[in-house]
A and B are shown apart, each in its own frame.
Chain A
């Protein structure tokens, strides 16, 4: 489970002054569900997700991820989280197998368990053909599957996706969306950030709309549409964001 409580991150910039990347963000994601964090570029999605993955330290508030506090037990949080973003790249000079094994070892897996886990992931993600090929020689789809295997190697309870389909073609994007659904089916706690409305509509059980670092609205797709009186998420999103901008 993920529970963010007034999670705040303030960046200090010499020219721009104080920037609130995340501003008192609170939400809860239950196991076996997908929470979609919907926002435009620069809305605060990545900052919020990085705070939850303990890549950044909050300046206010806190969060509990898989039962561990992000400030008190960051190592334990990371051991229970799988994080996938367009910015989490693969080591070009390692093979797909070496890449997965490296992160398995960093997560404390023993060699025998690791071998079995890689075999099982390769079966599941159909990776056998390219498992021993260097990552810089892989196609975009193969790279995505390797990244997913890297994310899954330690079988985390919580999965965080930061715009995972950004820059991918339709086929690769569909594979990711399919994989995220499978995570829900396996009872994982899934937090999914996107600015693509159709993805959020198709995938998410609960949607949180973030703008200017603040969570502006939250609820099921039906609840958000009802609140705004709109018929599709894009219109609802624009209305919420512009209403907040006026207030």
Chain B
């Protein structure tokens, strides 16, 4: 093995890859643009839709309640609804999104309120539809308020204090420091970014440097040189790893810049302070996550390079790369499911272990035994994949596979 030869091959591959549009897009452009597009673009759009729904005064129908005019008058007076008497086919109108919600008031409701034995009020809406859901929520708030006011009035009429119906309050408090809360919130997402871009960044260089070279005929030219097969694999692998690390770095820098921009925009907004969305992340946890990037990038680079070596052509390599991407992303998705915690068994599952440990480290939880096991096993898996790549590259049946 010669460091000089590996360096020569790496330097050439780096120069070559920096001139390859596909590699530049997957390694730099996509990771840099995806975060602003997702957070600013999709986030702004979602926020606009929700705001518009909030500002809307929903059209609501009242079913029955002819003998309870006071309730209907109160609904109208609240200013939160456009109240109408239910017409025939009101259910269809809700399903067609022409009416946001309906409330069914049983006969004799107002009278029954006085005796404290009123039957149930039923709220109807379009499940899963944003505007309908908001109208239903407003109706729920209205009737909950009515229930509380009625309880207080009935108790007062009997000379009983209102506190009897609410003997104590329940309060909640977050004792976790803001950094840990923030870490818990973004831990899964950060792992998702690292792993997704770790794969995407390695994918195109791996395909280009192995299958692409075979297809273009430059692999045979390279094999004619005195460079050993191991040196060639290592030089090329280092370039694939560079692609993976560069994509992760670009995505993280882009994410940080986007969040900083959103934070400053919110604090400069008319509300002043922006509702306190500022997300604090434990810097130590962040360092721990960054340390995990290396073995995970080595693993993906080695696996993708190996599959690409097996392929006869660039197109075939793309076919093999797709399952690798899915195999990487699915465990990360599982890792973001609440309630799945790191255990010794899960610490041995590649990719999923990285996702779980990132969440823990960002939440300020440091299970050193698990961290060592994850770092060790991921490095071992990566070394196995790399050894397989070297073995395959030495095999004529793979290198001259056509």
Evaluate whether A85 and B225 lie within 8 angstroms (CB atoms) in the complex, with A93-B19, A102-B8, A106-B5 already known: no
Within the complex, which residue of B220, B226, B227, B228 is in contact with A85, where a contact is CB–CB below 8 Å?
Answer: B220
**Residue contact B12 to A89, C-beta cutoff 8 Å:** no
Chain A residues in 8 Å Cβ range of B224: 53, 55, 78, 81, 83, 88
Query: Nearest residue in B to A75 (C-beta to C-beta)?
Result: B226
**Residue contact A55 to B223, C-beta cutoff 8 Å:** yes
Interface residues of B in 223-257 (CB under 8 A from A): 223-228
Interface of B is mostly: helix
Query: Nearest residue in A to B221 (C-beta to C-beta)?
Result: A88
Please report the total number of A residues contacting B with Cβ < 8 Å. 27
Scoring B12, B16, B228 by chain A CB atoms within 10 A of each residue's CB, the highest score goes to B12
Interface status of B216 (Cβ within 8 A of chain A):
yes
Interface status of A234 (Cβ within 8 A of chain B):
no
CB distance from A35 to the nearest CB of B (A): 19
Query: Nearest residue in A to B8 (C-beta to C-beta)?
Result: A105
Within the complex, which residue of B8, B216, B400 is in contact with A92, where a contact is CB–CB below 8 Å?
Answer: B216
Interface status of B47 (Cβ within 8 A of chain A):
no
Evaluate whether A57 and B221 lie within 8 angstroms (CB atoms) in the complex, with A94-B16, A106-B5, A106-B226 already known: no
Interface status of A91 (Cβ within 8 A of chain B):
yes
Within the complex, which residue of B12, B20, B218, B226 is in contact with A90, where a contact is CB–CB below 8 Å?
Answer: B218
**Residue contact A78 to B226, C-beta cutoff 8 Å:** yes
C-alpha gap A85/B19 in the complex (Å): 26
**Residue contact A93 to B396, C-beta cutoff 8 Å:** no
Evaluate whether A91 and B16 lie within 8 angstroms (CB atoms) in the complex, with A102-B8, A105-B8 already known: yes
CB distance from B74 to the nearest CB of A (A): 75
Please report the total number of B residues contacting A with Cβ < 8 Å. 22
Chain A residues in 8 Å Cβ range of B217: 87-89
Scoring B20, B217, B218, B400 by chain A CB atoms within 10 A of each residue's CB, the highest score goes to B218
CB distance from A207 to the nearest CB of B (A): 24
**Residue contact A90 to B221, C-beta cutoff 8 Å:** yes
CB distance from A163 to the nearest CB of B (A): 13
CB distance from B219 to the nearest CB of A (A): 9
Interface status of B15 (Cβ within 8 A of chain A):
yes
Interface residues of A in 89-134 (CB under 8 A from B): 89-94, 98, 102-103, 105-108
**Residue contact A98 to B221, C-beta cutoff 8 Å:** no
25 contacts between A and B (CB under 8 A): A53-B224, A55-B396, A56-B396, A56-B400, A75-B226, A75-B228, A81-B224, A83-B224, A87-B220, A88-B217, A88-B224, A89-B217, A90-B218, A92-B216, A93-B19, A94-B12, A94-B15, A94-B16, A105-B8, A106-B8, A106-B9, A106-B222, A106-B227, A107-B225, A107-B226
- Residue numbers of B with Cβ under 8 A of A are 5, 8-9, 12, 15-16, 19-20, 216-218, 220-228, 396, 400
Q: A89-B216, A93-B20 are in contact. List 18 more A-B contacts (CB 8 A).
A: A53-B224, A56-B396, A75-B226, A78-B225, A79-B226, A88-B218, A88-B220, A88-B221, A88-B224, A90-B221, A91-B16, A94-B16, A98-B15, A103-B221, A106-B5, A106-B9, A107-B226, A108-B226
